[in-house]
Amino acid sequence: MAEPPVGVLAEEGGLRVGVVAPDATAIEFCLFDGEREVARHRFRDRTGAVWHGHVPGVRPGACYGFRAYGPWAPGEGHRFNPAKLLVDPWATALDRGFRLHPALFDTGERPDETDSAPFVPKAIIAAPAPPPMPLPSLPGGPRVIYEAHVRGFTMRHPAIPEAIRGTFAGLAHPAAIAYLQALGVTHVELLPVAAGVDERHLPPLGLTNYWNYNPVAWLVPCPRLAPGGMAEVRAAVAALRAAGIGTILDVVFNHSGEGDAEGPTLSLRGLGNAAFYRTRGAGYANDAGTGNTLALERPWPMRLVMDALRHWAVQAGVAGFRLDLAATLGRREDGFDPQAPLLNAMRQDPVLRELLIIAEPWDIGMGGYQLGRFPAGWGEWNDRFRDTTRRFWRGDGGLLGEFATCLAGSADIFGADRPVTDSVNFITAHDGFTLADLVAFTERRNWANGEENRDGTGENHSWNHGVEGPTEDAGVLARRTGDVRALLGLLLAARGTPMLSMGDEAGRSQGGNNNAYAQDNPLSWLDWEGIDWDLVEFTAALVQARLAHPALHDGRPLTGEAVDETGIPDVEWRRAEGGPPDWDGGRSLAVAFYAAGDRVLVAINGDAEAVALVPPVPRHGFAWTVLADSAGAAGDLAPRSLRLLAESPA
């Protein structure tokens, strides 16, 4: 007999309930009226790992949780305690968000008998509904991704009504969408939006997990970000899609918010700790650095992830997913496997295989750095591009060749059998300095996080132009602005798929905080009143040029050979002044990309002195025209600047 469905579904006369608890001895389904528990139903039927049954007389809209009975043997991986109410891992709505309370913790030698039910969100039974109609297709072609936070992007926008700021409804507001359209990006990549919980050290500090990388209920939109539930999320995704913008969700399946052995019991820990997690005695494997690791090579954890991904794909209509710490998703007990069950399941799934998938190709476990080892056609965050570009522009020597390889699509990493668009290029992201801070701070300023400035990376490859942090020196400010513009130009001119971080195009600073995960306040929110509109306009021009010119966005690996009857190679390297590059110690470079009859020159001067620019001879009937110059200059290539030129009919 096949295992029955999991989750809680309304059916004629009541509910059909299935819950995964492989090692439990009994399961109770608990109904609530507000905070009052009004009924318990003990299941007697079990098929495989699934306890199931029919609960009569209950209608959609009712609230519920589970209690699980079984051994309390943490050394063997079992932590059953019926005093702890448990959230259904397959729930699709909650009556409120998670908040920590002492009653949620169960860390002693004996199970804690305090009833946690008053302090645990209750799942809401959904009414049966047909699958939503498919959203209109997105236009094909090149991609420019904009990484953003739903709350941070809208909280300070003066044109968005206060009641919906910080929510998906705010993201769907015409003012928010108009900005993204004017910028020209093709996709927004949203930081995690599933319902999660704060780490236990944050509430005593008066802080919350703003980034939301600590999930508990993977199928539930965070009530704070989407008080209207999945319908609100879908409305925002549809509004963005109507504007030609796809939505990518950053999803976290490497761990859960239940954390280490001292963490709260909220869901999986109480239902099947040894089945869902990779346990180590009374503790856990910690490949994600967050206290626990989901055992995703096993059937039920993998089933939960696949069901969650399909749920967001179908119900929200998203265009794709970014997989946080994706190396963990490919782990077995003995390490990373590029053919791991979950990765292969995603590749063959009829829904997911049609979506854009981006892997963050590392974790902190043994052998956790796996850049370049994910499936062809999947994007991968390319931190080599980030670090090499930063170091080259900072002035580190001997990097011209490595920098050129990144500019050309990082074929040394992705090889000739993958499109260069698999390289998701970025210079900054949510995790680390903003672009404005990258050129203004050499040391992190994370004191507000309450960890004595120990958190966040200490290796930023940053520089400050001789003054650390804020200054009124006009010369320093001008040089910093010039570097920001040049770095934006490098990002948007490089082969691959560029990703902008929210506010980098507008001069956003976090005051040197490079780990603002707990800063749900103006430090992290986009300051719409303080936007550098000149920088926004410059970035939009770069985005427009990238999307318009195949020479910049073509996905085929470069060969240096002619690609058509013109005899022009797909890439040609030279110094900005003319002649072959000085690969050993040079600071100037001009690269001519060619594709589909389109030719673009990216001219770079990383030196402190201006250099002459001598472009290649244009094709007959064409002339070089300037698309953008980071220094706003003509003639010689200004110090520390980038110029973008294209062949246009003369």
Distance CA 98, CA 455 (A): 24
The yes-or-no answer on residue 360 being catalytic is yes
**């020209």: which residue's tokens?**
184
Reference 483, options 502, 501, 465, 470; nearest CA is 465
Distance CA 251, CA 325 (A): 10
CA atoms within 13 A on the CB side of 363: 27
Asked if 271 and 82 touch (Cβ cutoff 8 Å), the reply is no
Q: Which of these is catalytic: 23, 189, 360, 505?
A: 360
Distance CA 584, CA 447 (A): 40
Residues with Cβ within 8 Å of 204's Cβ and at least 6 positions away in sequence, in order, are: none
Task: Give residue 598's identity as a one-letter amino acid code.
Answer: D
CA dihedral 196, 201, 206, 208 (to 10 degrees): -20
Reference 630, options 604, 607, 609; nearest CA is 604
Distance CA 29, CA 439 (A): 56
DSSP secondary structure string, 433-462?
--HHHHTT-SS---GGGTSTT-SS-S----
Composition of the chain by helix, strand, coil, percent to 5 = 25, 25, 50
DSSP secondary structure string, 73-118?
EGGGTEE--TTS-B--TT-S-BSS-----GGGB--SSS------GG
Task: Give residue 143's identity as a one-letter amino acid code.
Answer: R
Q: Which of these is catalytic: 28, 250, 324, 363?
A: 324
Q: What is the DSSP letter of 530?
A: G
Neighbours of 229 (CB within 10 A): 18
Distance CA 232, CA 228 (A): 5
The yes-or-no answer on residue 452 being catalytic is no
Asked if 589 and 604 touch (Cβ cutoff 8 Å), the reply is yes
**């019926």: which residue's tokens?**
82
Residues classed as catalytic:
324, 360
